A and B are shown apart, each in its own frame.
Chain A
């Protein structure tokens, strides 16, 4: 970045333009733990400032990398080619919550939980619940199409985005989509922008769909001897025509890992745990919880615990919530993947993962959203052992290949970013890549927005 660009940006942003080394360092990372130093950071307060930044970038040829809270797991907001990190964290107004039309209009920097809470106060519900919802932003959630535990019943971020305002790579301001429940006028540019990882446009405003808030929630924790029994129980719940609002599976590797760190009382022969939630009107919740409990017991649960009050539910969630912190304690580095397979292929995938771990002498910890087939596969690397690292990388590739063979996808909710870029073509194929690149050229002809993401170019490889 040259001095003229800096001067021009400083004219727009004043002290919201930062280029001291310490300021740049604080915007060099995200939750992947990798660091790429930007040339500068800007904090726009309005759409116009975003637009002027992109126009300048077109004039002077520097990259612009949009960033929400930097909580992503795929490196979507890392400035791998330098340039300007455009932080949306100060564009954080909820413009309106329209309870008559069941929608919200928000700026991209609104923290997801803040919106959920604002909706809740009006007995409304914004369902997406990524694990980062207390600090992650709506803009980041849309750009990466974040999911969460409730996806099994309510879907993912994509399903709640009705319309967007975005600054394209050309600096043009586009409004896509509708403020209505339906709309089919032309190509669905809204859906195209969702999950585009900031490579097509920078989202400056979003119109989101809301639902009525479910009245109550029931939680069940079932313990099984092995994955097979738990997988059959999942199938049993589906066969009973019940759609839980969360269905989380933790395999033996995850349970063992938690046991090394916190004390949770459970039978010694527990090899798999399933956490199920149902929500809705109280009477329906009671009936569905009974149905779930029956299915769990029929399929060989050693033990089923049930709670409807806040304290009891929290107790049941403890096992699930302890996994991520516990993981950090057993390995220095984790390769954190979020594959999805068709629900019916879950038992095959779980068996494959366990065999792979044994064969390659690796610790692979699996847990995740069994209800929608989304498994968080964590390949743990304990130290700086080069051979272990090589085996781990090979294992990740084998897992992705198996996932695609089973009809699944290599990323359910984290996005491609840089961490899955080497495997991107494996899933979408050469024509898929080619069409996407043509679309990219239409939105961002000079390649200003978030360069170096999604597909591999210029030999960038997973280090």
Chain B
């Protein structure tokens, strides 16, 4: 259960430790890539609760989404169209949807557990 959190922690630590100076021009594309990565991660978490988790879909989605998001943003900049906004909106909307689903699922689980406990207590009494 704690392995993904451990992964996130290690990633954050390594990211801080690396301290690679990113040129200002690339910072924007990296931000878009982060957004895509977060979207993939939350999509993965959501799929766990929906009980249709697929590692292949998660990994391919993660890599293709991050790369394509950055690439599209870059392409948009070259074309003079703010394509990165499209990525921000698409990923942002999906991120919030996923978060909402996760929240609801967690709530369901919690409510279910409480009900079960209550029933147990009732039964014991």
- Answer yes or no: do A and B interact: no
